[in-house]
Amino acid sequence: MSGISRLGEMIDGARARLCFAARMTALLTLTLMAAPAHSQEPETTVFTGGMLISGLSVPPLHDATIVVQGERIVAVGPTAEVAIPENARIIDTSGRTMMPGLIDAHAHLFMVGYGSEAHWFEWLEGEGSHYSIEQIMELSGYQMLMSGVTGAIDLGGNAEESVSVRNRINAGGIAGPRLQVSGPLVTRRAFGGFPDAASAVLSSPREGVEIVNRLHRIGVDVIKLHAGLTREDYFAMVEAAHANGMKVHAHLYDEPALRNAIDAGVDVFQHVGSAGMPTYSDEIVKEVAGTFRPIVLTAAHRSWIYPDTVAFPGRLEDPAIKALFPEDIWAAVQHSFEEWPSEGYFARIDRQIAYRSPQVKQWIASNAVMGVGTDSGTPMNFNHDGLIREMKVLVDEGMSPLEVIRDTTRVNAQIMGMRDIGTIEPGKYADIIVVPGDPVYAELNNLFSVQVVMKGGVLYKLDGEPTIPLPF
Ligand SMILES: [Zn+2]
Ligand SMILES: [Zn+2]
């Protein structure tokens, strides 16, 4: 068991007595136990020498320095102008780039990229597996964090497990991104491939309101409206969610559903532009852009993953991904790929490949506010590389690398409503990653090999190696 896991148990016991700040300081102290003796002052880490992409709409800064004290950034600027505190741990980033931790605005931590959603949950419940859904979420959180994802919104899973994993990550007990969770898909028809607990089924707007209120009591952060809902359902549940202070994310492909979601006040339009149809009408695209409410395309899953995998089947055996799996889960995942081209998940792939590029280009041209999300965990859409693949699609379809980084960091932080993350500025949480070379020139390809990951002042990856082992 890792130092962080042990610490988590200690923290669980002492939670009532410790305030959040004290817990985080304790975490930092224990995590760095292997480091040389330190004073009672908060640990200080300095990143210096490399290029800085701050997440703000400004050009990169060359030869920059970031000073981190405890869990927060305390100074940022040109190296010549930033005082480096004595006894600080120095991370030389020369020839590399420092940037905010990435945020995934649409993840599913209870899946890991298995070739078929339904068969994944059958395997998980069968005799070959001794893992709980909560453990899988823990594994996915670890995979994401080691890939530079320090924040995520989980949009569809089991409510109790989702809330528990979020709380354990926040308490420092396990390694994972800062999480917001929706719990189940709220829908008129249960989603076949998922466990029963991952759908909340209503047959009237009134039942929908009861579901929203129940999920609020369980402690979810946001509501995920799924398919088949009536106009009245959207209105009733958005009102109930907002009354509880929760944002509503809606799973939307077709235009009538989007129409209802816009009118009802849905906060985030998920999957819009994800190759469900040829293109949207100009009127509705303009209208969405004019609401300044964000869309999250989730473009890369399915319609880019499929042809990418045909072109290079070896991506399914990538050792960098294998290293983030326990052996038995990896073996099951490999087995699941044997018949992948015929899986139902890809039943409409020819049309989706035809629609993908016109749709993504249409939404980029609209200048709608755009978050970046993956639907990660879906078939062959690994938690390790899903977000980088999504970012690359946006670059390939016409956005600049800096725009895509901005949307994956600052804009996604705004979608989460978290003011303390998403950019590298004094006062913010120290959620920082370091990548080789220049991601602007490399069109984000070097994000596949994140070398340093810090979240809240704690180093989870250094010199390309995790500082803590796989959770199991
Ligand atoms: Zn969805
Ligand atoms: Zn999803």
For residue range 289-307, what is the model confidence (pLDDT) as tens digits?
999 999 999 999 999 999 9
Measure the CA–CA gap between 283 and 408, rounded to whole angstroms: 27
pLDDT (tens digit, 9 = 90+) per residue, 217-273? 999 999 999 989 999 999 999 999 999 999 999 999 999 999 999 999 999 999 998
364 and 223 in one domain? Answer: yes
Q: Which pLDDT does position 121 carry in this prediction?
A: 97
Of 2 and 65, the one with more pLDDT: 65
Tokens representing residue 425 in the block: 């500025």
**310: CA distance to ligand 1 center in Å?**
25
Residue type, 334: Q
Reduced 3-state DSSP string for the chain: CCHHHHHHHHHHHHCCCCCHHHHHHHHHHHHCCCCCCCCCCCCEEEEECCEECCCCCCCCECCEEEEEECCEEEEEEEHHHCCCCCCCEEEECCCEEEEECEEEEEECCCCCCCCCHHHHHHHHHCCCCCCCHHHHHHHHHHHHHHCCEEEEEECCCCHHHHHHHHHHHHCCCCCCCEEEECCCEEECCCCCCCCHHHEEECCCHHHHHHHHHHHHHHCCCEEEECCCCCHHHHHHHHHHHHHCCCEEEEECCCHHHHHHHHHHCCCEEECCCCCCCCCCCHHHHHHHHHHCCCEECCCCCCCCHHHHHHHCHHHHHCHHHHCCCCHHHHHHHHHHCCCHHHCHHHCCHHHHHHHHHHHHHHHHHHCCCEECCCCECCCCCCCCCHHHHHHHHHHHCCCCHHHHHHHHHHHHHHHHCCCCCCCCCCCCECCEEEEECCCCCCCCHHHHHCCEEEECCEEEEECCEECCCCCC
pLDDT at 138 exceeding the cut of 60: yes
**195: CA distance to ligand 1 center in Å?**
15
- Average per-residue pLDDT in the chain? 92
Q: Which pLDDT does position 10 carry in this prediction?
A: 40
**108: CA distance to ligand 1 center in Å?**
9
**418: CA distance to ligand 2 center in Å?**
21
**253: CA distance to ligand 1 center in Å?**
9
**147: CA distance to ligand 2 center in Å?**
20
Q: Which ligand is nearest to the CA of 271?
A: 1
Q: Which ligand is nearest to the CA of 224?
A: 1
**21: CA distance to ligand 2 center in Å?**
33
Residues paired with residue 69 on neighbouring β-strands, in sequence order? 44, 72
Q: Which pLDDT does position 41 carry in this prediction?
A: 60
Q: Which ligand is nearest to the CA of 257?
A: 1
Q: Residue 414: which of 288, 294, 296, 244 has the closest Cα?
A: 294
Please state the domain count of the chain: 2
pLDDT (tens digit, 9 = 90+) per residue, 309-337? 999 999 999 999 999 999 999 999 999 99
Q: Which ligand is nearest to the CA of 301?
A: 2
| Number of Cβ within a 10 Å radius of residue 108 | 25
pLDDT at 26 exceeding the cut of 60: no
Q: Among 416, 431, 450, identify where a domain stops.
A: 416
Domain membership of residue 92 as a residue range = 3-101+423-466
**64: CA distance to ligand 1 center in Å?**
39
Q: Which ligand is nearest to the CA of 252?
A: 1
**378: CA distance to ligand 2 center in Å?**
8
Q: Which ligand is nearest to the CA of 110?
A: 2
pLDDT average, residue stretch 97-113:
98
**374: CA distance to ligand 2 center in Å?**
8
pLDDT at 410 exceeding the cut of 80: yes
Q: CATH number for the domain including 336? A: 3.20.20.140
Q: Which ligand is nearest to the CA of 155?
A: 2
97 and 114 in one domain? Answer: no
Q: Among 394, 416, 438, identify where a domain stops.
A: 416
156 and 38 in one domain? Answer: no
**252: CA distance to ligand 2 center in Å?**
10
pLDDT (tens digit, 9 = 90+) per residue, 184-221? 999 999 888 899 999 999 999 999 999 999 999 999 99
pLDDT at 39 exceeding the cut of 70: no
Residues paired with residue 250 on neighbouring β-strands, in sequence order? 225, 269
**426: CA distance to ligand 2 center in Å?**
34
**271: CA distance to ligand 1 center in Å?**
7
| Number of Cβ within a 10 Å radius of residue 311 | 9
**277: CA distance to ligand 2 center in Å?**
18
**394: CA distance to ligand 1 center in Å?**
19
**190: CA distance to ligand 2 center in Å?**
14
pLDDT average, residue stretch 348-375:
96
pLDDT at 21 exceeding the cut of 60: no
Q: Among 416, 432, 455, identify where a domain stops.
A: 416
Q: Which ligand is nearest to the CA of 381?
A: 2
- Is 472 within a domain? no
pLDDT at 12 exceeding the cut of 90: no
69 and 213 in one domain? Answer: no
Q: Report residue 390's pLDDT band, with 50, 70 and 90 as the boundaries.
A: very high
Q: CATH number for the domain including 440? A: 2.30.40.10
111 and 62 in one domain? Answer: no
- Is 431 within a domain? yes
Q: Report residue 40's pLDDT band, with 50, 70 and 90 as the boundaries.
A: low
355 and 224 in one domain? Answer: yes
**185: CA distance to ligand 2 center in Å?**
9
What share of the chain in percent tops pLDDT 70? 91
**440: CA distance to ligand 1 center in Å?**
30
pLDDT at 177 exceeding the cut of 60: yes
Measure the CA–CA gap between 463 and 436, rounded to whole angstroms: 10
77 and 143 in one domain? Answer: no
Q: Which ligand is nearest to the CA of 378?
A: 2
pLDDT at 15 exceeding the cut of 50: no
pLDDT at 3 exceeding the cut of 70: no
Q: Residue 115: which of 269, 306, 246, 373 has the closest Cα?
A: 306
Q: Which ligand is nearest to the CA of 154?
A: 2
- Is 269 within a domain? yes
**107: CA distance to ligand 2 center in Å?**
6
218 and 298 in one domain? Answer: yes
Q: Which pLDDT does position 13 carry in this prediction?
A: 38
**165: CA distance to ligand 2 center in Å?**
18
**381: CA distance to ligand 2 center in Å?**
11
446 and 383 in one domain? Answer: no
192 and 49 in one domain? Answer: no
Q: Which ligand is nearest to the CA of 117?
A: 2
- Is 136 within a domain? yes
Tokens representing residue 240 in the block: 């109930």
**38: CA distance to ligand 2 center in Å?**
44
Segment among 27-31, 332-336, 389-393, 463-467 with least mean pLDDT: 27-31
- Is 471 within a domain? no
**186: CA distance to ligand 2 center in Å?**
12
334 and 239 in one domain? Answer: yes
pLDDT at 25 exceeding the cut of 70: no
Measure the CA–CA gap between 165 and 258, rounded to whole angstroms: 31
354 and 262 in one domain? Answer: yes
